[in-house]
Amino acid sequence: APLPGKVVARFNLQRQLFDRAYLLVDAHDQELATCDAIIADLQPRQVLIADRHYCIIAFFEKISAAAGFFVIRQHGRLKGELIGKREHVGEIETGIVYEQSMKLHRSEESMVVRRITVDLFNPTRGGDQEIHVISNLPASVSGSAIAQTYRYRWEEETAFHVLQMTLTCESARLGHPYAALFLFCMAMLAYNLRQVIFAALYAEHDEDEVEQVSHFHISVNVSRYTDGMLVALDDAFWQRYVPKDSVTQAKVLRSISREIKLKDFKKSQRGVKKKTATRSKNAQSKHVSTAKRLNLKEVKDP
């Protein structure tokens, strides 16, 4: 089937929000086509965390030239010269952490980076027993901290899961690239609004209770009642909920959050999974009549 395009999204881990979207109208373009745009938006001392697709020496050099830092998983195609011995530097939840310097060569120039290795307690889904992370963070940042920082990348994966499962970021009916990309960007904006809602909930309710709130139930309630509220309530009514400054706005959101009954939006608890009964094979026929199985009277054998 035709592919409508691609989106490379930047997720702010500190604010837990999507703050940039780099659009590729041609679905055959690689994500690496967005590297220059990513560098243009990079601020000094910002840290880019990315998967192995962005493990390219030229990208590393551009980040360093922009006074930025990177924590990127090593791709198998990246070859470099290991310097000195690998040293044990600590341990994180998923494994034992080691560090070693690596010299990367491109043309006549070379770049020395930190290579952080995590010897995993449990292999990845792909069967990898260890992962390597490349970084140019200063020595004041420990190897264990770098390894832990890379783990935060999965918070973005969790955000994408919410986009896909509850915010309809993709639709099979939208084939035009601009329409599909616009839908995805609108879903990211909806996710950011969702984050504001949950921030207000965390501020007024117990953390464990908020963790049990269903994203699905919230999205259903929003989609079900919004159209009617927009018809019944004019713009003047909504202006009272649009304060001019962020401090007042936060107070309004917290006052609304205080009145919400979280039990009405609680996640459904899955029961014990039943064992599937073993089906017997019919040697004479691979297909059976549903009506005959149900013993419907009007069905007669020929």
User: What is the reported pTM?
Assistant: 0.79
- 182 in the same domain as 258: yes
Other Cβ atoms closer than 10 A to 257: 19
Q: How much is the pLDDT for 226?
A: 87
The bridge status of strand 6-12 relative to strand 130-135 is: unpaired
Judge if 103 and 166 occupy the same domain.
no
- Is 173 in the same domain as 140? no
* CA 140 to mean position of chain CA atoms: 29
Contact 35, 54 (CB under 8 A): yes
Other Cβ atoms closer than 10 A to 35: 18
- Regarding whether 113 and 209 lie in a shared domain, the answer is no
- Residue 31 counted as domain residue: no
147, 182, 208 - which closes a domain: 147
Residue 18 lies in a domain: no
Residues 128, 164 within the same domain: no
- Tell me whether residue 171 is in a domain: yes
Can you give the pLDDT of all 302 residues of the chain as single tens digits? 577 888 999 999 999 999 999 999 988 888 889 999 999 999 999 999 999 999 999 999 999 999 999 999 999 889 889 999 999 999 999 999 999 999 998 766 789 999 999 999 999 888 889 999 999 999 999 999 999 999 988 888 889 988 888 888 888 787 788 999 999 999 999 999 999 999 999 999 999 999 999 888 888 888 888 889 889 998 888 887 787 888 988 998 999 999 999 988 888 777 677 777 666 666 666 676 777 777 765 655 55
Report if residue 15 sits inside a domain: no
Predicted local confidence at residue 216, as pLDDT: 83
For 51-76, give one letter per residue: b (16+ CB within 10 A) or e.
Answer: ebebbbbebbebbeebebbbbbbbee
Cβ-count burial 83-116 (b if 16+ within 10 Å, e if not): eeeeeebeebebbbbbbbbbebeeeeeeeebbbb
Q: Tell me the sheet residues that pair with 106.
A: 109
- Same domain as 176, residue 113: no
* Total count of domains within the chain: 2
Predicted pLDDT at 125: 87
Does one domain contain both 241 and 179? Answer: yes
For 191, residues 6+ apart whose C-beta sits below 8 A from its C-beta are 17, 18, 159, 162, 163, 167
In a domain, 74, yes or no: yes
CA terminus-to-terminus distance, the chain: 44
Among 103, 119, 147, the domain-final residue is: 147
In order, the DSSP letters of 247-269 are HHHHHHHHHHHHT--GGGGBPPP
Which candidate, 143, 134, 6, 137, places its Cα nearest to that of 77? 134
Q: Is residue 277 situated within a structural domain?
A: no
Residue 270, domain member (yes or no): no
How large is the angle between the packed helices 246-258 and 177-204, nearest 10 degrees?
70
* Same domain (yes/no): 67, 126: yes
We report the CATH number of the domain holding residue 85 as: 3.90.350.10
Neighbours of 156 (CB within 10 A): 19
Alpha helices (H) along 31-105: 35-41, 57-65
Same domain as 179, residue 124: no
- 119 and 166 housed in the same domain: no
Amino acid at 199: A
64: domain range? 42-147
Asked if residue 287 is part of any domain, the answer here is: no
Same domain, 191 and 123: no
* 135 and 97 within one domain: yes
Structure tokens at 187: 């879903």
